[in-house]
Amino acid sequence: MADGSFCPDCKRSTEVVFDHSAGDMVCSECGLVLEAHSIDETSEWRTFANESAENDPVRVGGPSNPLLTDGGLSTVISKPNGVQGDFLSSSLGRWQTRGSNPDRSLILAFRTIANMADRLGLVATIKDRANEIYKKVEDLKSIRGRNQDAILAACLYIACRQEDRPRTVKEICSVANGAAKKEIGRAKEYIVKQLEVEMGQSMEMGTIHAGDFLRRFCSHLGMSNQAVKAAQEAVQKSEELDIRRSPISIAAAVIYMITQLSEEKKPLRDISLATGVAESTIRNSYKDLYPYASRIIPASFAKEEDLKNLCSP
């Protein structure tokens, strides 16, 4: 590894070589040790697991979790090799059971949130935010007897909103292990209410815009880059209009309008499946947008004659 640094002997910036075995930074021209015994703070990925596939003597574990009592660094006694019978009946097994993890329910909840987030392709910051929200609600001891899957899904929905990466309730519902859309909606309202009472102030949820969903919906429909750019511009211009429809409905209606003007026309049913918006809702939103088509559709995408041929609602 070579880098530039000032050498006091050479009296100028020179190339520096890092000696990993000694932890020294050495000037490549005069050999002066500029820094000795440097500490490598990067992750250690070596596992030293060449001996056996079952034995993995890694020297590093997972990162600590401040949401757990022991930071997520508790010790688990594994079953020794060659032990026959029930391990839990042995002395080590009894100690393992006696020292059971008090955060077991939290760990299971965090694992469920991680699985849902992975299935939706969400980033780690959203997972962490959802974990924080669930930990706050769990500490209030007010979610006992409620649908656990709906609570976890609602925490993920709120986290997406707060991180400006919103997902529709239907998208969250698709990975919520059977929790219904209404249950998730009620759980979301309950969590927000409980946390607002605890904080003594309103909970910041972030503003939803039609553009937050547009690119993902267009990707599901396999639309061309030109059509996607036209739809994005149309959605931005539609925000200047006084159309009282949900952002998701406006996004679906804009997609329908753009596809009708392009060569890659999409059936209303396909748009409904991709966006999760009912066909009737898309028609009504399209009806509201239709009078403003010449204002929101980019001139580079559709000429005035093409707009005249646009299907009337």
pLDDT in tens, 276-307: 899 999 999 989 988 888 888 888 887 766 66
Tens digit of each residue's pLDDT (9 = 90 or more) over 162-203: 988 899 888 999 999 888 999 999 999 999 998 888 878 777
Q: Please, which residues bridge with residue 26 across strands?
A: 17, 33
Task: Specify if 177 maps to a domain.
Answer: yes
Given phi > 0 = left and psi -120 to 50 = alpha, else beta, which region is 3?
Answer: beta
Task: Specify if 276 maps to a domain.
Answer: yes
Among 156, 175, 199, the domain boundary falls at: 199
220 and 301 assigned to the same domain: yes
Task: Specify if 178 maps to a domain.
Answer: yes
110 and 172 assigned to the same domain: yes
pLDDT tens, N- to C-terminus, the chain (313 residues)? 456 678 888 888 888 887 777 778 888 888 788 877 676 666 555 555 555 555 555 555 556 666 666 665 666 656 666 555 555 555 655 665 555 566 778 888 899 999 999 999 889 999 999 999 999 888 888 777 788 999 999 999 999 999 888 998 889 999 998 889 999 999 999 999 988 888 787 778 778 888 888 888 998 898 888 989 999 999 998 888 888 888 999 999 999 999 888 888 888 999 999 998 999 999 999 899 888 888 888 888 877 666 666 766 5
In this structure, the dihedral spanned by the alpha carbons of residues 295, 298, 299 and 300, taken in order and rounded to 10 degrees, is 180
232 and 183 assigned to the same domain: no
Task: Specify if 293 maps to a domain.
Answer: yes
CATH number at residue 288: 1.10.472.10
214 and 303 assigned to the same domain: yes
Range of the domain at 10: 6-35
User: How far apart are the C-alpha atoms of 207 and 166, rounded to whole Å?
Assistant: 9
Task: Specify if 51 maps to a domain.
Answer: no
Q: Is 134 exposed, middle or buried (0-12, 13-18, 19+ CB in 10 A)?
A: buried
Cβ atoms within 10 A of the Cβ of 221, count? 17
DSSP state for residue 16 in the 8-state scheme: E
